[in-house]
Structure 1
């Protein structure tokens, strides 16, 4: 998926001009790199873990008041 750094947006392949450049600014787009699957997995796992720990903390506070 082409990515224009100057416009900071994704460009559809059919939007490119005949020369293969961005139709808005005229620069050659780069191939946009996606985040690896394991980064997304670790992000979701961290959110779940921190949510669980927050629940534990609230439960502990409620029982000790």
Structure 2
């Protein structure tokens, strides 16, 4: 991933100027012939542990909902 020392930020290869320079400061960053290590044909997928986190959050909130309903039933019934 190209890095611009002048702007202190990373750039995607497609976001550079056609000649491989930074669009903000004009410094040369990378050759336009350099290809990325991974193909960028389609949208990238989220990592597996993100899905695991989503499942854990849904289970936790579902359990808290059950506890809340039980508390309401105990209090008002």
Q: TM-score range, shorter-chain basis?
A: 0.5 to 0.7
Within the candidate set 47, 55, 59, 2:58 is matched to: 47
Higher relative contact order (CA 8 A, sep 6+): 1
Name structure 2 gaps, 5 residues minimum. 1-39
User: Higher helix share goes to which structure?
Assistant: 1
Deviation at 1:30, TM superposition (A): 1.1
Cα RMSD (Å): 1.5
Aligned counterparts of 2:45 and 2:74: Cα–Cα separation in 1: 45
- State the 4+ residue runs in structure 1 displaced beyond 4 angstroms: none
Give structure 1 stretches of 5+ with no counterpart: 1-28
Task: Give, in whole Å, the separation in 1 of the partners of 2:54 and 2:44.
Answer: 18
TM-score relative to the length of structure 1 = 0.52
Name 1:35's counterpart in structure 2. Answer: 46
